[in-house]
Structure formats: C-alpha cells, structure tokens
Chains A and B, each alone.
Chain A
Amino acid sequence: MTEFLDLETQDAVRMPWNVIPGTKQEAAQSVIPISAIYTPIKPLPNTTPLLPYSPLRCKNCRSVLNPFSIVDFSTKIWICSFCLHRNHFPHHYQSISDDNLPAELFPQYTTIEYEPQNERPMSQFSQLVPQVFFFVIDTCMIEEEIGFLRSGLERVIGEIPGNSLVGLITFGRYVCVHELGFFGKMNKVYVFNGAKEISKDQVLEQMGFFLKKPRPATGVVAGVRDGLSQESINRFLLPAADCEFALNSVLDELQKDPWPVPADQRAPRSTGTALTVAAHLLGVCVPGSGARIMAFLGGPATEGPGSIVSKALSEPIRSHKDLDKDAAPFFHKAVKLYEGLAKQLVHQGHVLDVFACALDQVGVAELKVAVEKTGGLVVLAESFGHSVFKDSLLRVFQSGDNDLGLSSNGIFEVNFSKDIKIQGVLGPCASLEKKGPLCSDTTIGQGGTTAWKMCGLDKSTSLCLIFDIVKKENPDVIGQAANNQFYFQFLTYYQHSNGQMRLRATTLSRRWVTGPGNIQDLIAGFDQEAAAVVMGRLVSFKMETEAEFDPIRWLDKTLIHLCSRFGDYQKDSPSSFVLSPRLSIIPQFVFNLRRSQFVQVFNNSPDETAYFRMVMNRENVANSVVMIQPSLISYAFNSGAEPALLDVASIAADRILLLDSFFTVVVFHGSTIAQWRKAGYQNEPEHKVFAQLLQAPLDDAEAIVKDRFPVPRLVICDQHGSQARFLLAKLNPSATYNSDAPPMPGGDVLFTDDVSFEIFLDHLQRLAVQ
C-alpha cells in the first residue's frame, strides 16, 4: 500500500493497476479499467526544483524531455520514449553530459515544473490580468440569510489580493450589474430582465461598451486588445483595493429582492440569467485570463432560462424520481442552458463556483455541468450562517499553508506509448476536442481528445483518466522482452496563483505483463483504494449518463468478476474463497460504495447527489476513499485513539467515536461519556484525563476540518441523540432491530433492513466461486 502512496507523493498519480494487463483482452478481463487518478498540481516535494526555462519537446509528438528519454550524450541526441523519435538537443543543452544533467533528466524528477520567464501567457487573448473575482449574489432570501451572507462576504473582502479585479452582480427577479467604478458619483446598477435570455452582443451593446469608440466592424470583440477601452472595463471590474469601499457599501445595503412575492409562490430568482450575464461580461472584459464567477445561491431558480421549478409552491422541486421518470419539465432546458454556459466559460477560460446555501434545492444538479467543466468549486450548505459555508468561503481566499492553491487557465495534455489510448477523463475539465491517434474509439466522460481545458484547478483537483489497451493478443516475445514498459506523460500548462504560467510534466512508466501466468503480477500492482475511487467515479458517471442503469447490479457484477478472476478458490466451494491482501478490502469498499450517497440516491435530493459527485470527481484518492468508506476512530480511556471498525458494534457507552465521512465529521459520545460530560467532570481537576479524552477527538476533528474543502460539517453528538443519525447511517448494520443476538451492553442497534457486510460477503463468496 505504502508504495502506492510513495508513487503518489512523487508523481501525484494513483492507478488501480500499477502493473498493466498487456493486451486488450486481458485488460477487459481485469474488470477494473486501466486508469489513473492524477492530481495535476499537487504540491511537489520541496526538493523539486522549479525550472526557469521552457521544456524541450519532441519534434514529432510534442512530448517533453523526461528521465525516461534515452539520451545519447555524445551525439547530443535524445530519443522520445513515446514515439521513439530522435531529437537533437538545442544549442543551450550542449554542455549536457552524464555528470551534468538538467533537472528534467534526473530520475527522481519524473514530475517537474517549468516556469518559463518572460513568456507571455498563453492563448490568443494574451494580456496578463490579475485574478478576477466576480460575485453573483442571490437576494431572494430572508433578511437573516442576507445578513449571514453579507457578513460572510465582508469577512472575505479584506482577504482578496489588492490587485485582483472584483465585479458584482446581485439578482432576484432582475439581474443587477453593479458599476463599481461609478461609485462616488452615485451607485449605479444595470438591471437586466431575468426572464429573458441575454446574448453577449446585447451585453456589449446595452452596457455601453461602444460609446466612446465605434464598434469594430468584424471579429470577436473582447478585451482591451479587441477595442474595449480599459476605462470601460474598469467600470465593472475594479482592483479590489480600489473598490473595497464601494463593495462594502453595496453589501451593506444588500437587501431582500424588493419584488413582492405572493404567499403561494416562490420568489422569482433568475439564477440562469445572472450567471449568463456574468459570463458575458467576463467574456467581454477579460477573456482568457483567470476569472471566477462566484455564485451565492439561496434558493431555486424560478425565473427565466435556467429555472428548475415553476413559481407556484404547489409544485415541488424535482426529485430523483421525477428525473428518472422524465417528469421534471424544467430540467433539460436548464441543463441545456448550463451546457451552453459551460462551453462559453471554457472558451473564455473562466470558472464558475457555486455556493448554494438553502434548505431547498437551488439547482446544483442543473448547474453541475457548468461547474464541473470549468473546474469550479461547489459548496452546499443549509444556510449562509453555517460554518460549512462561512469557513469554506474563507478558505477560498485564504493564503498560507492551507490555501487551496487556486490556479486557472489550465490545459492538460497526455502522451502515451502507442499501445495505449485514452477513452476519456472523469473529473473537472472540458475536452478541447484535440483528436489524435491516442484517442480511443470508445469514450467515457470528456473523451475523444488528448487535451483538456481546466479553467480552474487547485492543489487537490484530481482527474480520473480511463485508458484503453489496444495491443492485440499477440505473443510477441521480442516486444515483451525488449520493452515491457508503457510510458505516460501528463502535461499541465496553467496559470499559477502568482500569475505566472507554468508547465508541469509528469512522466510515468509502468510495466505491462501478459499471459496467464501473470495474474500475481497484476495483483501485486493492484491499488484497491484507487480502484474503489475509479469505480465510484465510474458508477456515478454511468448513473448520470446511461438510461436504465442499475448501479447495484453493475457494482455487484464487477466485484464478483473481479473476485472470480483474482480470488483464490476452488470452484463451487464458497468456503475455500480467499482474496489476496492486495484485494482484501475491495469488497468492503464496494459494500460501502453501494450504500454511499453516490449510489443510494434515496433520501438525497438531486442537488445533494450532484454535489457529492462533483466533490468526489475532483478529489484525490485519499479523500475519495473517505467519502466512500468513512473512517472511524475510537477513543477510550485505556486505549487512546485507534481505528475502529465501521460497524455498529464499535459503539460503546464508554467510547468516543470520530467518524469522518468527508462531508461530515461526527464526534460521537457514548452514553456514559455523555453523562459524565453533562455532569461536568471534565472541569474538575481530578478528572483531567477525562477532559483530555473529550478533547482528543475534537482536536483531531479540528485538524480534519482545517485542511479540507469544502469544510465539512462538524457534528458533535451523543449516543441516542438525534444527531447520532449522522454516524449510524454510515455503520455496517451488523446488529439491527431484528438481530437475534441482543447488542452488547452499551452498544447499539440500527433500525434498518439493509444487509450487513457479513451477508454481503457470504453472497459474494458464493457467487464468485461459481
């Protein structure tokens, strides 16, 4: 296991199969797809140098010089490990020799970053603009929520770097674009009709961008280059330092959307139009430079394009059931709008972040496409007053160790050995539709390309790449003997949060094996955590895209096939079934994945499901695993903190449990502990130990909360308390209300009919050996 973590530390990549089935057929038999979960800008070890020059690229395949390249020092030639093309070193590499290697050729620097100096930022638009934050604020909320949101934002405004540009839209029934640059004379607001779709041209026209200069006759109009004066842009986007006062004063006055709302109706909320306008405006003003639209939504969109429900309260917001039955009349229209928006934002290189804080659904399910394709952040909470929102927001702007490392304008490219093709990427990115020989015929997620746009990415953004092995069943001994390595190169070109463009190159090599005798090799290279996460992403993706898809069945089948192939058993003898330690936890992962919020949509709204999936789709393996199978730590007087089984049996009266399910962190006091605590023993000097016991899980929880985004919900509860459900829902129901055996004293039972892990395993064994 640790070797995989080491690999991750070095290259930020986790692969279910670290030894790769060498042929198409074998890959298919391996059940879990050949794939990789890659975190493009995961912080590198401090020792890794930042190279201040441009990388050397293969003239043929554009891959970057890397430690796997074969270098001929005498002739100053290097051979590309992907296409085997021979490249001459350019002049400034002339001094290269065995003892004088550039850093990119050091074997330990398979992942390395270049930050070429003096290079203008990429893209046709150019012009380096500081990070842009465009706030889009819903005002259809009760005053209290507005107050929370206001205070949340006010906390953050001071944190925005002074040179970052800031813009502001508030919306309710209408969309109000605040002209912050006009402040001083009079607060000025452009009001757009939220019920109407607005085109970019209309924005250009109607917001007076061509008053002083005639509009150019042809061509795309955008940015300073294209004929917009800085002055007219600065009306809406101002350096934070210059507009802090204006911003604060607008926030001060932020009030409920004044349009009257009949008692039997929802407030008219034109989320779709507001976001469209924001996108247009950014597209007009700062195309190509990093910009985030940060939407703060307090309820469902009901007005104009992007509505998710009608205004009549008598009509409920769509549920999973409605979606399944295609009985959500607004859904497809809204999704279509946001798909268009996503496309536009991707083109402009801008990010959409959503902070949805409402008891109701706000339409995250519809917004998902736009958020995901742009690599935006999403936070879902019940209220703007909740720490989940407040702290998460703060984290976005925080600098220091815990910063998110928000970067922008990323382009992600891949290169492989010729026998590997890419089916697609599951994760927050958008295809750039760069087709090539490396593209597989089948596609999954963002496929059919070898380059992706990542408008927004941060330290933990992780992509799941699904590969296809195209090598035919061909006992080509020579090939196998001479070169049994597959090479992968991941190139990420992005704008670092310091504003500079960087290129990170990660080059991997993995051994492939073929033939019946190599199953053990495959098992040895199997990373169950990565496998579970890939399955999680895959099953979520299939649930969303495939009609009539039965996830439970699919998961079960997958697991059974996996076990049949890699388990050790005698046919038809369940009791003989044994799994190698490399595979031993995977059934448990699948068991928990089946029960997880990703697969069990019952009791979750489409918004929540979308939220969970979006977060999983951008998180790295470790965090994703926690989402799939929460971690449980128990604290007791005699034993200190130790991991506990995620089972109802772990509950004991004299224990404290700490459950981390990623979205929530639960501190659960056993009944006795709770009594003592209520009695206040922890405050008495003689019970210092008890106080420490109480404090330990809190400290750990604190540590978890501190470096997680979105900030999890911290629940502190007692056994038999109502909040305990956050824990109980995650536990294996080994003891239920109709179990034969009574629970241990101080233990607990679950009121569920779900099967327990034991029964699940029984079935698995039986089926696997058939």
Chain B
Amino acid sequence: MATPGGPRPGSIPPNYNPNSVSDNMKNLQINRPNQPPNPANAPRGPPPSLGQQPQSQSQPFSSPFSVPNRPGPPPPGVVPRGVVPPSSGPTPHGTLPPFMVANRPVGAGGPPGGNASLASRPMPPVPVPSTSGPGPFASTPSPTPPPVMPVGSGAMNNGPPMFGPPHGTPGGPQYPSSGVRPSAPTRPPPPPPQTMSSFLGGSFDNQPRGPPQVAPPTFSAPLRAGMQPSSGPPTFSSQAQPQGPPFGAQPWQMQSQQNVPPPSIPCSGQPPRMYGMSPPLANQQSMATISPATGPSGNAVSGPSKIDPNQIPRPVPSSSVLLHETRQGNQANPPPPATSEFIVRDTGNCSPRYMRSTINQIPCTAYLLNTSGMQLALLVQPLALPHPSEEPIQIVDFGEGGPVRCSRCKGYINPFMKFVDQGKRFICNFCGFTDETPREYQCNLGPDGRRRDADERPELCRGTVEFVATKEFLVREPMPAVFFFLIDVSMNALQTGAVAGACSAISRVVADLPEGPRTMVGIATFDSTIQFYNLKRAFQQPLMLIVPDIEDVYTPLQTDVIVQLSECRQHLDLLLESIPTMFQNNKTADSAFGAGVKAAFLAMKSTGGKLLVFQSVLPSVGIAALSGREAEGRTNIYVGDKEPHKLLQPVDKTMKTMAIEFAEYQVSVDVFITTQSYVDIASISVIPKMTGGQIYYYHPFSARSDPAKLYNDLRWNVTRPQGFEAVMRVRCSQGLQVQEYSGNFCKRIPTDVDLPAVDCDKSIMVSLKHDDKLQDGTECSFQCALLYTSVYGQRRIRVSTLSLPCTPTLSNLFRSADLDTQFSCFLKQAANEIPFTPLLAVRDRVTELCISILHSYRKYCATVSSSGQLILPEALKLLPLYTLALTKSIGLRSDGHVDDRSFWINYVTPLSVQLAIPLVYPRMISLHDLHTRETEGSVIPPPIPLSIEHVSDDGIYLLENGEDCLIYVGDSVDPDITQKLFGISSVGEIHSQFVLEQYDNPLSKKLNEVLNEIRSQRCNYLGLKLCKKGDPSGMSFFSYMVEDKSQNGLSYVEFLVHVHRQIQSKMT
C-alpha cells in the first residue's frame, strides 16, 4: 500500500502495530494529540490531484470527514473512499495502516458552523413551563404517551389533518427531546426565527418545507408551546435529570447535554433524520388526524386532499455530532439514530455501531413482544468503522490461558459478569452459572460490589474489547492475506472495456495492498478456458497456464500461482498491462465463471483468502453454467407470469454446493459484475453471499464512466478494515435465544456463523426469540464474539457486549423502539422473502407489519379517543413513510430488470443500519442553487422531500442512496449553470455516460465538494448517472420520488390514509 501518507510501517513509532483494526485505533489515538482540532490540519493525505481536498482545506467548514479521508475526488475517479489517502501526503496519520479507520479525521470538533448551534444547545437546562410535562417522565415505567390529542381533536376535525406530533399537547414533556434534537424547530411559526435557525444549523432554508406545519389557528397554542423550543426543552431535561433514571427520558436528555459542538457539518451524515421532527419526546406519539369523513365513513376522496403534505412526518437531518455514552448511571443509554453522526464513549455497553437492538428495552414475555407487533432482533456489525474521535478498542491479552470465560456457556468475561464471594467466583450474565474465578484473575470487590480493578481492566468496563486468541482458537497458523484476482476475458468483456478497466483497477490497487510477507496475490483470467499465471519466475516473463477442462477443473500449480506480493510486483504490473492486449482478438464469447471460480478456489484452498472476480457476461459454459432464463421467462410468457419471483432464486444448487466448500476452506468471493446484459445475479450471488463477500454491479458498464467507481470499489474492498477465517456467535441471557442469523455468511452448525471474510461494512441480523419469561427490573445481555484473523495475521476475538433492561410494559417498548434498526429488519426480511413469495404478498406483508405495529400502539398505548386520528408512536413516526418507500423500492417493484432486483436483494442482505434508510428513502438535494445558498457549516445542502413537487424544470438535483447517485437536469435549466457545472451549454449535449469534472468556477467546485462529502459519508464512490427529463434516465430518477403516487403505489398522503383506515378497521 502506498500508504497514505504515512510512513511505512517500518518507520513507525514504537507502538505501531501494523495489525488489526483495533491497533489502528490505537494509533489513531496516538496521533490525536498531534492533530489540531482544526480540520484544516487534519490529515490531508490526498495529493493535490484531488481537486477536492485542497478546497476543503480552504473551507474550514467542510466536515472534517471529508477532508482527509474518504472521498475521492470526483472525476478522474481515482479517489475513493478516502480511505487511504493517496500516498504522498505527509499526513500525520501516516503511521496508520491502510485502513481508513486510521485516516478518518480525527478532530471531532470541526469548529465551523457550530457556533450557532452551540449557542442553542446550552439552553436546555432552562426549565420549561409545560404543564403536564413531568408526568410522563416521572412515571418511568409507564410512559404512556401523554394524552396529546384531546386538545386537538375537536379542532382537528375540520382542520387539516395533522400528523405530527405535536402539538398539542401537553406535550410539553416532549420538548426536552426537541431541545436535544435540533430538528424540532421546523415548525412554521418559529417564534424566534433566529433561534430556530440556530437550532437547525444549516437547515434554515428548509424550514418552509419542514415537516409538521401545523395549521395556525387551531394549534396555535400548542404550537407555541411546542415551538418555544428555545425555552422549552430545557425544562425537561432539567427535570429529567433530577429524576434520573426514568427510562427514555434520560437518554435524550443526556444526549442533549453532551452535545458536542456541532461538527462542521450540520447534517453530518447520514441520511436525513427524522428525529427532530416534532418537539415531542421520544416517548411521545405523533398524530395525524384524518378527518372523520375520510376515516371510517369512507369519504376518502376528500380526506386525503385535506392533508397538507408539508406537515406529514419527514426525516429531518440532525445538525450536530452527538456524544453518546453507552451507559449512564448503570443504565443502558438508548443509542442515537444510526444515521446521525455521533461519537461513542464505551462505558460498559458496546457501541451501537457494533450491535444495536430493534428495541432498547427487552420485553419480558413473548406475548408482550407479539402484542407490540415489533420484531426483536439485533443488528451486529462487528468490525464497523468507528468514528475517528472514538477511543480505540482495547486489546486484552490473557496470555496462555486465554480470555476468562464462563465454563458452561463459554460466554466471555464482560462488565456484566457479577463477581461474588470476594471476587472468588463470578456469575455468568448469560447462563447464570457460577464459575470459579481463575486464581490469577481474582481481585477483591469494592464497597459497590464491583471489583476494585474493574476500571483498569478493559474487559470489565468496556462493552467492546479484543482478546488475543490463544492456541485454543487456532486450528492452524493464521492464514496469510491472500488476494486472488479472476478476470473474465471473453469477447464481450474485452469489447466493452471491462477487462481494461479491471486490469487497471487491480494494478492500481495492488499498490495499496499491505507490504510484507503475509500479503500474497494471484491472478487468473478465463473465457472458455481458465488461464493462470505463474508469477514466480525469476528471469522470465510470467507464464500462462491454461486449464482447458472446465467441467472438472484443477489448479495447474500448487505454488507459484499465488505469490508473495513483494516477489511479483513487476510481473504483476507487466501482466496486468498486457492482459487487455494479449486477449485483444479473443473471439471466445463463452465465459466459464463457475469453473474459473472453482479453479481459483483450488489454487487458494490451502490458505483461504479473498477471491475477487470480474465477470462481464452470463456464465455460459463449464461448471455451473447458466442459461439466459430471463429471456426464456420473457418469451414464454406463461412461465414468466406465473411465478416471476422464481427468476430471483438461484437456478440450482450447484453454486451453493461450491459456496459451502469455499467457505469451508476460508475462501471469500467478491464478484464485480461489469456487464451490458443479464448475468443471472440471482444464481451468481449465492457464492459471494455464502462466503462473506459481496456483489458489485455495473450495469450497463461504461468504459467511460465506470472504471473510476470500479477502482474505488475495489480499493475499498481490499483496504477497508477486515478479517479472515472468522467465526461469529451471538450469546444472550437466559430467557432469550438466537432464532436466526441473516447476512452474508455460511452456516454449518446452528450456533455459529462462518465468515471466510468479514469487513467493516457487513452487518448481520440476529433475530431473537423468547424461550422463557424475563424478570422485570433485570437486564438482559447480548454478546457478539467474532474470532478472526487480521490482515496482518493476528488471531483476535472481538467481543461486544450489550446489556439492556427488561420491561413488562408495552409503552416502554414503543418508547424505546429504534426506528432505524426496526426498519433495517423490515427491509432485510422483505429482501429475504422476495425470491420466494409473490411480489404482491411481500408488499402486503410489509404494509401489514407497519399497520400492526401502529395498530398495537393505537390500541394499547394511545390515549386518544377519536378514531379519526392517526396516532403514531414518536419513535416510529416515520415508519409509514419508510414502509411506503420500501414498497416502491427496486426490489419490490415488478417493473425492474431481474438483475437489478437481484442485486438490490443482495445489497440489502449485509447492509448496515445507517445505509438502510437512504437506500429506500434517498437523499435529494438541489444543485443549481448551490452557490447562492450559504449553508452554515454543512457542505451538503438540506435534503428535499422526494416528491415531484419539489423538482422544478429549471433545477438540477442530486439524489443519492448510498450506492448510486443520480443527477437530474431539468429541461429548462439556465445554460449558464450547465455551462458551469458540466462545461456544456445545453442539457442535450451532455454525454449520457457522464463523468463529472471540476471546472474553475465556484459552482462546480462546490458540487465536487458536496459530492466528495457524500462519498466519504457513504464510504462509497457512488457511480454518477445523469438523468434528463423525458428519457428513460429521467424515468428512473422519478421512480425514486417515493412520496408521489405512481404505478407502483400510493402517494405518501394516500398511504397514511390507507394505514389509518386499516387501523380503524382493525380496531372495530
């Protein structure tokens, strides 16, 4: 790796430990001191070529993130996720290893936009006058939502329905949250506009569109109350504080208190967030009133029209970086939204990045859970990228004996193991067994019942630690880091430039691979035969070894096909350079994907490793050849119509059998599909899916615009923090058990998942079920243990433990529901079902899930009497919107290309929580007015709701979902703007295979800056697609306007009405 800037390992400081992510973190810490808070100083690895970066430098306001690390500069595509800044940079980080972690900007405190928000933050403490406020909070256990509605109900009948939370209400209590969450202010009548803006951070502009806009008259009062954010919030928080523990209240409050000075970027991240939406607290409910007429009576027509679309719940970005302590006062602290930017302090529970639950309180009984209609599941992402400001994970070496574990359930020592008997014994928090403490590990207990050394021992005070694996965990020497590249060189692949793209990407990425004897590479190509290359030839050019038997493959050599990188760099370069020309005249149209993969596997079998395959056409020959069943489906309408979802299933078991074998030998496969046509992703994907890999999809591949993304994807793939030959298990306390794991892995025994490779982007859903009752007042623990080998050959066990309170109360469940996680589960379950269930049934099920949750809330928790109101639990108030968006997503649309849908399903399976929502509800921003708008602090302008109303013909918009990025150009855009952005005066002239360049004008620079910021947030280069009104590309853009009525579903408003009606019908 040319590492980013930094000194190569050799030159590194004493502590430098080249290995493992966690080590990186350490380094990070080390670096920290050096790193001035000012982002400007942040590591700027990237060479000047990245136009972008320099800019960011000059602009202190850009988020710290974007600066140093991730994002690539736009056009030439080179830059990627900034992980590793290109070599040259004299970054202070230099020490850091390849992974981006290291590079992340350190300084949390981007000074920028912060000022305003800072100002506002402090305010919370002020007590608020709200009347009922204390009530809900005080009574911790039953925080049933305050009777919000009564007030409004009358008024509402006629009035425009309102959704939103608000109002009303005595909701005072909710306020505190609003205080916390700056978003609240969106309300219209912002009394003190200024405050608002300050709250919002940059979002001021948005205001008008902001979600809940309440009709003035009726609500004025409540509104005011709500609106007084400035004064309001404080009250609660203060209240809460004294009260301490009441669940729910506390967290928020705490967060508010701990707000870190807003980072430079207001919407730091992630997708727009809904939190702020209403002043009400998390435990509050949101209500939408639907006029009675529309309700039960069925006068639907008029109903919806009366809803003001501007008032319905919508995500609102949060503007500040939150500081999150995982536990406070010995209580679990509900995590901030996954999509927000936050910094975690591990105070006992693991960071929510590693593990988060759909509900932050665990229902005591299965009945309670069922009643709520919600799911109980964990999303674990054991190697998730930490925030650069977070402390690194500590490494604990227990020496020969290995980590202390429960002798019965083998749970690892963690802060929730209870030591008794002067520390001579401890009680396992999972199985309840009492174990002897190993003598050398004994320590007396303090007066508080904790071990006296608890705070010195990371495993006793941290939610996440890494244990050094002892022999017991080794079945063999830790494997070397093997990277094997396999390239389809059939005729189409060459003609479309895919081969050239792949070769150049590989050749550049090879430079980024870790130096050293443990890094091994190999390369092979295939068409209707498989060509290996002997790279270990001292005096000659590489030797091509052809394996012609594609029905029964083998590796032509056991050694020398995979060679230490240091021994073959030159050969590799030479080879990669010559492959495209060598096969230039290849007339073989067939492609033996299965055989190629199998052969490469055989070559890697003795070590395991990562197999990166570049495939360009439908695998047509050899082992596991596929047929163009999509076309067959189309021509044979009868079959095609009957069970269209069958096309989304793998065609047979061949690939699966192979995949299981690969997984057994620790070979992980990633497939980069650079194609023009159908390749049957449904079948191909089985292999990456079961081996802990993933699919990348470039369709239709363009030699002009895609190589940059290909390179960046590949680079991130090999340089991101990752582990090999991993095994993961989640344990939980008695009363619960793991029901199922879902994600990209292979499962051979019921309790463990085998991950030939695991990386920071992969998340695994763990659904839980009750097998017993849990005691109220106790806590329930979850522990995820991941045994893996780092890129540097260290065997580690990363153990993350999360302990959550149990509750017998339904309303607590709703209050502590975690929307992002819940929705991720929805999404993943839906994705899992698509190939096996008719599409309509999937959509109905998704909708039904949403409805039943809301119905449960309405029935058991809401205090509103009128049936004309749609009442949403505050925590889940965006659930309808996301559910609607989900039903309109690519995977659940019937009009999609089969491969697109397959890819979508595969993309979703290992998707992390923070990317789940943007996938279905993308972020849209306008570009044409970038320069005119002075966004405070944030590089990225505030998002626009996904409705065609908000898209004007003279505008240019950017829409991104974490994977793709569409730039929509209206048909009457000011030529001056297109000239500035694209260097072309008329929209029509823009090349459809669009490559964004940076021109020398502020608008263009700004656009690139925004784009890079987005890329860095998403850890994804985001392929750019240009969409023009009136052609298919425009249509695809509009298909993302999920709030609009379309052939795929209702509009947002209609959907709310539909949901409401369904609830009503259930109620009766």
A196 / chain B contacts, CB cutoff of 8 Å: 549, 552
- B residues 545-598 touching A (CB-CB < 8 Å): 545-550, 552, 554, 556-560, 578, 582, 587-588
Contact check, A188 vs B588: say whether CB atoms are below 8 A apart. Answer: no
Assess whether B546 is in contact with A188, with CB atoms less than 8 Å apart.
Answer: yes
Contact assessment for B588 and A187 in the assembled complex, using a CB-CB cutoff below 8 Å: no
Fill in one digit per residue for B984-1020: 1 if any A CB lies within 8 Å of its CB, else 0.
0000000000000000000000000000000000000
Q: Which residue on chain A has the smallest CB distance to residue B557?
A: A258
In the bound complex, what is the Cα–Cα distance between A361 and B582 (angstroms)? 43
B545 & A191 in contact (Cβ 8 Å cutoff): yes
A259–B559 CA distance with the chains assembled, in angstroms: 8
B528 near A208 with CB under 8 A, answer yes
Residue of B nearest to A191 (CB): B556
Interface of B is mostly: loop
B537, CB-defined interface residue at 8 Å: yes
Flag whether A189 is at the interface (Cβ < 8 A): yes
Q: Which residues of A contact B540 (CB under 8 A)?
A: 187, 249, 253
- Within the complex, which residue of A189, A193, A198, A260 is in contact with B543, where a contact is CB–CB below 8 Å? A189
> Are A191 and B547 within 8 A (Cβ)?
yes
A198: B residues at CB distance < 8 A: 549
Of all chain A residues, the one with the shortest Cβ separation from B536 is: A258
User: In the complex, are the beta carbons of A258 and B559 less than 8 A apart?
Assistant: yes
Give B817 Cβ to nearest chain A Cβ, in Å. Answer: 58
Report the Cα distance A185→B541, complex, angstroms: 9
B residues less than 8 Å from A193 (CB atoms)? 549, 552, 554
A253 to B541, CA, bound (A): 11
B residues within 8 A CB of A208? 528-529, 548, 588
Residues of B with C-beta under 8 A to A185: 578, 582
Contacts of A249 in B (CB 8 A): 540
Judge if A584 is at the interface, Cβ distance under 8 Å.
no
> Is B735 in the interface zone, CB < 8 Å from A?
no
The closest CB in chain A to the CB of B531 belongs to A188
The answer to the question of B544 belonging to the interface, with a C-beta cut-off of 8 Å to chain A, is yes
Q: How far is the CB of A148 from chain B (nearest CB, A)?
A: 21
CB distance from A139 to the nearest CB of B (A): 12
Contact A186 B548 (CB under 8 A): no
Q: A174-B556, A188-B546 are in contact. Are A212 and B587 (CB under 8 A)?
A: yes
Contact (Cβ within 8 A) B544 A189: yes
Residues 172-193 of A contacting B (Cβ, < 8 Å): 174, 176, 179, 182, 185-193
In the bound assembly, the distance between CA atoms of A378 and B546 in angstroms comes to: 31
A259 to B537, CA, bound (A): 16
Q: Mark A200-212, 1 if CB is under 8 A from B, else 0.
A: 0010011110011
The chain A residue with its CB closest to the CB of B575 is A186
Contacts between chains A and B (CB distance < 8 A), count: 72
Q: How far is the CA of A179 from the CA of B544 in the complex (A)?
A: 10
Residues of the A chain whose Cβ atoms lie less than 8 Å from the Cβ of B541: 186-187
A206 to B552, CA, bound (A): 12
Which residues of A sit under 8 angstroms from B528, Cβ to Cβ?
Answer: 208
What is the chain A residue whose CB lies nearest that of B590? A211
Distance, CA A206 to CA B553, complexed state (A):
12
The interface residues of chain B lying within 8 Å CB-to-CB of A187 are 540-544
CB distance from A16 to the nearest CB of B (A): 53
Q: Please report the C-alpha to C-alpha distance between residue A354 and residue B542 in the assembled complex, in whole angstroms.
A: 31
- Measured in the bound complex, the distance between the Cα atoms of B785 and A655 in whole Å is 90
Residue in A closest to B553 when the chains form the complex, CB atoms: A193
Query: Which one of A189, A192, A212, A260 lies within 8 Å of B549 (CB-CB)?
Result: A192
Contact A202 B549 (CB under 8 A): yes
Within the assembled complex, what's the spacing in Å between the Cα atoms of A205 and B578? 26
In this complex, the interface size class of chain B, counting residues with CB under 8 Å from chain A, is 20 to 34
Picked from B544, B548, B558, B578, the residue with its CB within 8 Å of the CB of A192 is: B548
Specify the chain A residue showing the minimal Cβ separation from B543.
Answer: A187
Contacts of B556 in A (CB 8 A): 174, 176, 189, 191
Q: How far is the CA of A198 from the CA of B548 in the complex (A)?
A: 11
A111 to B536 CA separation, bound complex (whole angstroms): 60
Cβ of A206: which chain B residues have Cβ within 8 Å of it?
529, 548-550
Question: In the complex, what distance in Å separates the CA atom of A192 from the CA atom of B544?
Answer: 13
How far is A431 from B557 in the complex, measured between Cα atoms in Å?
A: 42
Closest to B529 in A: A206
Expressed in whole angstroms, the Cα–Cα distance for A187 and B543 within the complex equals 5
Q: Report A251-278 residues with CB < 8 Å from chain B CB.
A: 253, 258-260
How far does the alpha carbon of A208 sit from the alpha carbon of B546 in the complex, in Å?
A: 11
| Complex: A33 Cα to B582 Cα, angstroms | 65
Residues of A within 8 A of B557 (CB): 258-259
Among A190, A205, A212, which residue has its beta carbon within 8 angstroms of that of B546?
A190
User: Closest residue of chain B to A211, judged by CB?
Assistant: B587
Specify which chain A residues have a CB less than 8 angstroms from the CB of B582 in the assembled complex: 185-186
Q: Taking CB as reference atom, which chain A residue is nearest B530?
A: A191
Query: Closest Cβ of chain B: how far from A201's Cβ, in Å?
Result: 12
Closest-by-CB residue of A relative to B556 is: A191
Q: Which residues of A contact B560 (CB under 8 A)?
A: 258
CB proximity of A538 to chain B, nearest CB, Å: 45
In the docked arrangement, what's the CA distance between A167 and B545, Å?
16
- Taking the closest CB of chain B, its distance from the CB of A593, in whole angstroms, is 49
Question: Which of these, B532, B537, B558, B578, contacts A253 with CB under 8 Å?
Answer: B537
Interface centre among B547, B559, B560 (most CB of A within 10 A): B547
Contact of A189 among B546, B558, B578, B588 (CB under 8 A): B546
Distance between Cα atoms of A185 and B540 in the complex (Å):
12
A179 to B542, CA, bound (A): 14
Establish whether residues B546 and A191, one from each chain, have CB atoms under 8 Å apart when the complex forms: yes
Task: Type the 1/0 row for B1037-1055, where 1 means its CB is closer than 8 Å to any CB of A.
Answer: 0000000000000000000
Are A186's CB and B542's CB within 8 A?
yes
Closest residue on chain A to residue B621 by CB atoms = A205
Q: Mark B264-281, 1 if CB is under 8 A from A, else 0.
A: 000000000000000000
Residue of A nearest to B547 (CB): A191
A241–B98 CA distance with the chains assembled, in angstroms? 52
Task: Find the residue from B529, B548, B550 having the highest chain A CB count within 10 A.
Answer: B548
Proximity string of chain A (323-362) to chain B, C-beta cutoff 8 Å, 1 when within and 0 when not: 0000000000000000000000000000000000000000
CA distance A7 to B958 in the complex (A): 102
Cβ-neighbour of B578 out of A186, A190, A207 (below 8 A): A186
How far is A202 from B559 in the complex, measured between Cα atoms in Å? 27
Closest chain B residue to A205, Cβ basis: B548
A211-B588, A249-B540 as given contacts; A259 in contact with B558, CB under 8 Å = yes
Tell me the bound Cα distance from A196 to B550 in angstroms.
13
Instruction: Give the docked Cα–Cα distance between A198 and B532 (Å).
Output: 20
Q: Mark A464-483, 1 if CB is under 8 A from B, else 0.
A: 00000000000000000000
Closest residue of A by beta carbon distance from B491: A211
Min C-beta distance of A278 to chain B, whole Å? 15
Complex Cα gap A430–B73 (Å) = 75
Q: Roughly how many angstroms separate A182 CA and B550 CA in the complex, as a whole number?
A: 22
Contacts of A259 in B (CB 8 A): 557-558
Q: How far is the CA of A259 from the CA of B606 in the complex (A)?
A: 13
- Residue among B528, B540, B541, B546 with max Cβ neighbours from chain A (10 Å): B546
Cα separation A744 to B554 with both chains bound (whole Å)? 69
With contacts A174-B556, A208-B588 taken as known, whether A188 is within 8 angstroms of B549 at the C-beta atoms is no
- Which B residues lie within 8 Å of A179 (CB)? 546
Q: Which residues of B contact A211 (CB under 8 A)?
A: 587-588
The distance from the CB of A314 to the nearest CB of chain B, in whole angstroms, is 24
B-facing residues in A668-697 (Cβ within 8 Å)? none
Shortest Cβ distance from B659 into chain A, in angstroms? 23
Of all chain B residues, the one with the shortest Cβ separation from A190 is: B546
B588 to chain A, nearest CB (A): 6
User: 8 tightest CB-CB pairs across the interface, nearest first?
Assistant: A206-B548, A191-B556, A188-B544, A190-B546, A187-B543, A193-B554, A191-B545, A189-B545
Sample of 7 A–B contacts (CB below 8 Å): A187-B541, A189-B544, A191-B545, A191-B546, A193-B554, A211-B588, A253-B537
Interface of B with A (CB < 8 Å)? 528-529, 532, 537, 540-550, 552, 554, 556-560, 578, 582, 587-588
Residues of A within 8 A of B (CB): 174, 176, 179, 182, 185-193, 196, 198, 202, 205-208, 211-212, 249, 253, 258-260
| Seed contacts A191-B546, A202-B548; 6 additional CB < 8 Å A-B pairs | A187-B541, A188-B544, A193-B552, A193-B554, A253-B540, A259-B558
